[in-house]
Amino acid sequence: MKKTLSLVALLAAGTTQAAGFQINTQSARSTAMGNAAAGWLEDSSAIYSNAANILGVKRLDVTLGDTGILPTLKFTREGGATEGQKTTLSPPPHLFATYRVMDKLAVGLGIYTPFGAKSRWVDDFSGRFRARESAMAVYNINPTVAYQVHERLRLGAGLDIGRGTLELKRALDFVSSEGNVHLGGGAWGVGFNAGVQGVVVPKLLTAGVHFRSSMDLTFKGDADFQDIPDGFQTRTFDTTVQGDVTLPASVAAGIAFTPLERLTLAFDANWVDWSSFEQLAIEFPENPALNNPLPKRWKSTWNFHLGAEYGVTEALAVRAGFVIDPSPSPNDTLTPDLPDADRLAFTGGVGYAFGALRADAAYQFVRLADNVSSAPGIPGTYNGQAHVFGLTLGYSQ
């Protein structure tokens, strides 16, 4: 099986809050701290950030929330005007529940969206023959278990069951007229995750490492062609489509420093293996003449997260963070079907506890730096910004 991102890559066009098409806002508490969570976060959302840390819950912990991602992406063609996207709000939800079976053993289940994006370019977009509208999501079902092997060492592991869905609309150029194609499909995949967390200095310094494996998906669906001229209808007709997907493996390594009883400072360095994305290809098994793979040659990247949390009172906490997240895409393969740019994110938020209940809110501003594309046929500059709003409600006992 070739390492291609295939169908799903076309649907990642647009801006999420992480480079490529990763979504890491799986907890408003973590989001407010720049997602620096691998070394310390000890509620049920640790199923995503570090499976070993679910042992930090008292007995039962449940978190439920949603994230609103509001991007503004612009493209300025070389020698041309600036073009943009229609306003689109993407709302990836998250749900986590953990239960401490005994002092040294905890189990949990997470349901969340680790990858996805939604995009709608303006109707007369000059790159509409590459992408006009897209929607993609990978939903993860993640059963997890953690065990305390030593008073200062925890281990955790989980199974990743992924369900991917996708939809794409783009224009077709017939010189004297334009047609349209609407693609849709779905796939299942399986992976795993594992983490370790240790107390380096009691009540002062903790560290954690979390690995999440790659996941292979084979998308299958249908292509609906519209407004096709008579002379092309024998070669361009409704048919099935398919493609192989390799979602990237990742490693998160983090530390947390508690210089004061109510102050936590955290830092994470994350590695994402985007090199699994070598080309973008849609395959038409019943009409292979339409196959047109495009090279992408993405590279593995490191991104960095810094965060802080301060307990103003026992009930009220304030948080802030900063993220550096480089784009994995080379300039000569950067096109509107999968735009991207280096990102800087500034985060903040608050949390308040009402006895066993709690609420966390977060805001993240993402700045996409100018990214100049030298891709043949459509050179230009991509840039933009995104506003990310998160709300998570929790219950623990």
pLDDT reported for residue 34: 96
Q: What is the average per-residue pLDDT within 53-66?
A: 96
pLDDT reported for residue 356: 95
What is the Cα–Cα distance from 321 to 258, expressed in whole angstroms? 16
What is the Cα–Cα distance from 202 to 69, expressed in whole angstroms? 38
pLDDT reported for residue 84: 82
Into how many domains does the chain fold?
Answer: 1
Q: Could you tell me which residue, 133 or 248, shows the higher pLDDT?
A: 248
Torsion of CA 329, 111, 220, 341, to 10 degrees: -10
Owning domain of residue 111: 6-396
Tell me: pLDDT of 6 over 50.
Answer: no
Q: What is the average per-residue pLDDT within 153-158?
A: 98
What is the Cα–Cα distance from 322 to 365, expressed in whole angstroms? 10
Specify the CATH number for the domain of residue 70: 2.40.160.60
pLDDT reported for residue 5: 35
pLDDT band at 14 (very low <50, low <70, confident <90, very high): very low
pLDDT reported for residue 239: 87
Residues 6+ positions from 344 with CB-CB distance below 8 Å: 322, 323, 324, 325, 366, 367, 369
Tell me: pLDDT of 345 over 50.
Answer: yes
Q: Is 323 exposed, middle or buried (0-12, 13-18, 19+ CB in 10 A)?
A: buried
Lowest mean pLDDT among 102-111, 158-167, 222-231, 282-291: 282-291
Lowest mean pLDDT among 45-49, 131-135, 347-351: 131-135
What is the Cα–Cα distance from 171 to 184, expressed in whole angstroms? 15
Q: What is the average per-residue pLDDT within 289-315?
A: 89
pLDDT reported for residue 268: 98
pLDDT reported for residue 281: 67
Q: Could you tell me which residue, 184 or 350, shows the higher pLDDT?
A: 350
Q: What is the average per-residue pLDDT within 330-338?
A: 77
pLDDT reported for residue 170: 84
Domain-located, residue 215: yes
Domain-located, residue 326: yes
* pLDDT (tens digit per residue) in 360-374: 999 999 998 888 888
Instruction: Mark residue 20 as left, alpha or beta (left: phi above 0; alpha: psi -120 to 50; beta: remaining).
Output: left
Asked if residue 164 lies in contact with residue 184, where contact means CB atoms within 8 angstroms, the answer is no
pLDDT band at 1 (very low <50, low <70, confident <90, very high): very low
* pLDDT (tens digit per residue) in 70-85: 888 888 888 888 888 7
What is the Cα–Cα distance from 232 to 236, expressed in whole angstroms? 6
Angle value at C-alpha 260, between 257 and 266, nearest 5 degrees: 25
Residue 53, helix vs strand vs coil: helix
DSSP string, 150-187: ETTEEEEEEEEEEEEEEEEEEEEE-SSSEEEEEEEEEE
Tell me: pLDDT of 280 over 70.
Answer: no
Return the amino acid letter for 325.
D
DSSP state of 248: P
pLDDT reported for residue 126: 80
pLDDT reported for residue 182: 87
Residue 305: other Cβ atoms inside 10 A? 26
Lowest mean pLDDT among 36-40, 216-220, 342-346: 216-220
User: What's the pTM?
Assistant: 0.88
Asked if residue 358 lies in contact with residue 347, where contact means CB atoms within 8 angstroms, the answer is no
pLDDT reported for residue 47: 98
pLDDT reported for residue 231: 84
Residues 6+ positions from 30 with CB-CB distance below 8 Å: 36, 37, 41, 45, 49
Q: What is the average per-residue pLDDT within 105-120?
A: 90
Domain-located, residue 1: no
Q: Which of 19-23, 169-173, 281-285 has the highest mean pLDDT?
A: 169-173
Domain-located, residue 362: yes
* pLDDT (tens digit per residue) in 200-223: 999 999 999 999 999 998 888 898
Residue 274: other Cβ atoms inside 10 A? 24
Q: Is 45 exposed, middle or buried (0-12, 13-18, 19+ CB in 10 A)?
A: buried
Domain-located, residue 172: yes
Tell me: pLDDT of 311 over 80.
Answer: yes
Average pLDDT, the chain: 88
Tell me: pLDDT of 177 over 70.
Answer: yes
pLDDT reported for residue 79: 81
pLDDT reported for residue 26: 94
Q: What is the average per-residue pLDDT within 347-355?
A: 97
